[in-house]
Amino acid sequence: MQTLTDRVALITGAGDGMGRAHAILMAERGADIAIVDINTKGAEETAASVRKLGRRAVAITADVSKIAAIPDIVARIDAELGRVDILVNNAGFGQRVTTPEVDEESFDRMIGVHVKGSFFFTRAVLPGMKERRRGKIINISSIWGMTGAPVAPHYCAAKAALLGLTKAWAKEFAPFNIHVNAISPGGVRSGGPVKLDNAELLKEKEARVPLKRYCDPREIAYAVAFLASSESDFITGQMISPNGGEVIVGY
């Protein structure tokens, strides 16, 4: 197993769910963690879990769509933890609505959190990564960014945009030895499936997955930690989709 010793990871949306799982697993593997989340209590709880593992942690309360604050956030992390080696653009949310129900405010919010926040956090950590000629950037997309869905068109569009950014950044940043990849989870027992579906509907959805279940957030974190490690040093511009066989694309 590849360690992440002497690495610093910045994870957005790490106050609960998948983001917290990423933080804890990477801390177990030796990384110090910067947690950015709109939920102060959740961010502090994640930071406490990281510190219990003997790693340094910084918890910062922020709305990732408010981009004016992002340079100061990254500067604070640089000051307290030394640098950012790994960026996980994880912050996000779901909304089960159809096109007539999506007004401008909700559209802007969806794009702001998923796409705008990811773009400008990446932009903020880029100078340091270029100077060190080393970096790992991991964008958390979704199978809905691959396939679409009959609901949440703005969510599908935002997650697809992250895949586009992954491809573009991989080519732009490759000369600086900065690797950019994406994870597109299927059903995860956190976030939307748990918050938006009742137990009976969740069970029906899991039955349609070839492996007959949704995954634990830690199973997504394993893929993130792999892409954050030196084991993935010849992988860039790619997408991994841990989804239990729910979506299988051509090769």
- 100-123 pLDDT, tens digit each: 999 999 999 999 999 999 999 999
The yes-or-no verdict on residue 1 having pLDDT over 60 is: no
pLDDT of residue 197: 67
- How does residue 249 score in pLDDT terms, banded at 50, 70 and 90? confident
Q: State in Å, rounded, how far the first CA of the chain is from the last one.
A: 27
pTM: predicted TM-score of the whole model, two decimal places: 0.96
Sheet holding 178-183, edge to edge: 57-61, 32-37, 8-12, 86-89, 135-140, 178-183, 239-240
- Is 214 a residue of the active site? no
Model confidence at 133, pLDDT cuts 50, 70, 90, reads very high
Least confident window among 88-97, 170-179, 219-228, 242-251 = 242-251
* Backbone phi and psi for residue 59, each to the nearest 5 degrees, phi listed first: -110, 125
**Going by CATH, does the domain composed of 8-187+217-240 fall within 3.40.50.720?**
yes
Domain borders along the chain are 8-187+217-240
Q: Which of 155, 214, 222, 251 is catalytic?
A: 155
